[in-house]
């Protein structure tokens, strides 16, 4: 379904689970689109949850929003919830989706019951976080292009997108393996590999505006103070993650007000929000239902 924002943009929304259940909003990574993986769908159905996902602006079926910040995700999610008649929700995001989940918790504290950052990046302007340290060559080239200007970054992302789409599913999956830990590479051998290809190709087949805007949103101030959060936050980080260095999870755990941190020795970047999604949903559901007022007798 599509939702129209107050400034006339379109947000493409996907839904799974139980239509009248407690609502959880999922934020995809970078680059990607808002598909919902099979295990997440099954988990939502089993737990009676209404699982919502959306393409961030410029990805897939959502209108670009040039110059958007991480904080802008809160108003977009608010528009989606208003359209669907949802008042309270909880939220989680993977990788580049992590900061956007935190934005919802920070800026919609009266509606958001809890948030989880899964292998999420920290703020690039944090003085005590060496943001690029430990990132792979691909990220170094990408954010190096970003610092040369929007035109150069757009060229870089367009070249990458063209190569990804030309490769096709099997070659794309194989090309990722050398950049992943063993546990993440094993994840691609399941149906998750096909799912990732489907959502990624949908994200970039009509342009790379979403990718470019995500990168600049990460490099700019996020637009909210993580140390002033009033909503329960869980930070998950896998030791086997070769895409977002563990220092980012540690920084979030130390700076997000009241954050609960879980470090998983045997998990990577892709595995936690897929094969451990049931635990994520359970934690979010517990906080969401505990904070929801009971109807009058």
CA–CA dist 29, 121 (Å, integer): 10
List of residues 6+ apart from 102 with CB closer than 8 A? 70, 93, 115, 117, 120, 222, 224, 226, 229, 233, 256
Q: Which two tokens stand for residue 131?
A: 């943001």
* In contact, 125 and 251? CB cutoff 8 Å: no
pLDDT, tens digit, 9 for 90 and up, residues 1-60:
999 999 999 999 999 999 999 999 999 999 999 999 999 999 999 999 999 999 999 999
CA–CA dist 108, 215 (Å, integer): 23
* In contact, 211 and 157? CB cutoff 8 Å: yes
With tokens 């870089």, the residue in question is: 156
CA angle 189, 190, 194 (to 5 degrees): 90
Among 153, 161, 239, 260, which Cα is nearest to 202's?
Answer: 161
Beta bridge mates, 52: 15, 25
pLDDT given for residue 139 in this prediction: 87
* In contact, 95 and 29? CB cutoff 8 Å: yes
- Is the pTM above the cut of 0.75? yes
What stretches of 35-74 adopt beta strand conformation (E)? 50-54
pLDDT, tens digit, 9 for 90 and up, residues 127-175:
999 999 988 888 899 999 999 999 999 999 999 999 999 999 999 888 8
Q: Is the pLDDT of residue 296 over 70?
A: no
Q: Is the pLDDT of residue 214 over 80?
A: yes
Per-chain mean pLDDT for the chain: 94
How, if at all, do strands 233-238 and 260-264 pair?
parallel
pLDDT band at 63 (very low <50, low <70, confident <90, very high): very high
SS3 245: coil
pLDDT given for residue 292 in this prediction: 57
Domains of the chain by start residue, with CATH:
2-290 (3.40.50.1820)
CA–CA dist 25, 37 (Å, integer): 14
């Amino acid at each position: 379904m599509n939702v129209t924002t107050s400034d006339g943009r379109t947000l493409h929304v996907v839904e799974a689970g139980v239509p009248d259940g407690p609502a959880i909003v999922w934020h995809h990574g970078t680059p990607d689109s808002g598909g919902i993986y099979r295990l997440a769908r099954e988990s939502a159905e089993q737990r009676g949850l209404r699982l919502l996902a959306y393409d961030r602006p410029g990805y897939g079926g959502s209108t670009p929003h040039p110059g958007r910040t991480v904080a802008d995700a809160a108003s977009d999610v608010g528009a989606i919830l208003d359209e669907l008649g949802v008042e309270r929700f909880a939220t989680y995001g993977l990788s580049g989706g992590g900061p956007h989940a935190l934005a919802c918790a920070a800026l919609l504290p009266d509606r958001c019951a809890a948030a989880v950052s899964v292998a999420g990046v920290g703020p690039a302007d944090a003085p005590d976080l060496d943001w690029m340290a430990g990132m792979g060559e691909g990220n170094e080239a990408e954010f190096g292009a970003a610092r040369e200007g929007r035109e150069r970054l757009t060229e870089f992302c367009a070249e990458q997108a063209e190569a990804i789409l030309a490769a096709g599913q099997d070659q794309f999956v194989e090309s990722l393996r050398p950049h992943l830990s063993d546990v993440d590479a094993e994840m691609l051998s399941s149906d998750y590999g096909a799912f990732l290809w489907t959502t990624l190709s949908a994200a970039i087949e009509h342009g790379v505006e979403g990718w470019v805007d995500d990168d600049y949103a990460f490099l700019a101030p996020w637009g909210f103070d993580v140390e002033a959060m009033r909503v329960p936050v869980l930070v998950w980080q896998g030791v086997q993650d070769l895409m977002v260095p563990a220092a980012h999870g540690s920084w979030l755990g130390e700076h997000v007000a009241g954050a609960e941190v879980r470090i998983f020795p045997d998990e990577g970047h892709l595995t936690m929000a897929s094969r451990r999604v049931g635990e994520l949903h359970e934690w979010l559901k517990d906080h969401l239902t505990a904070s929801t007022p009971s109807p009058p007798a």
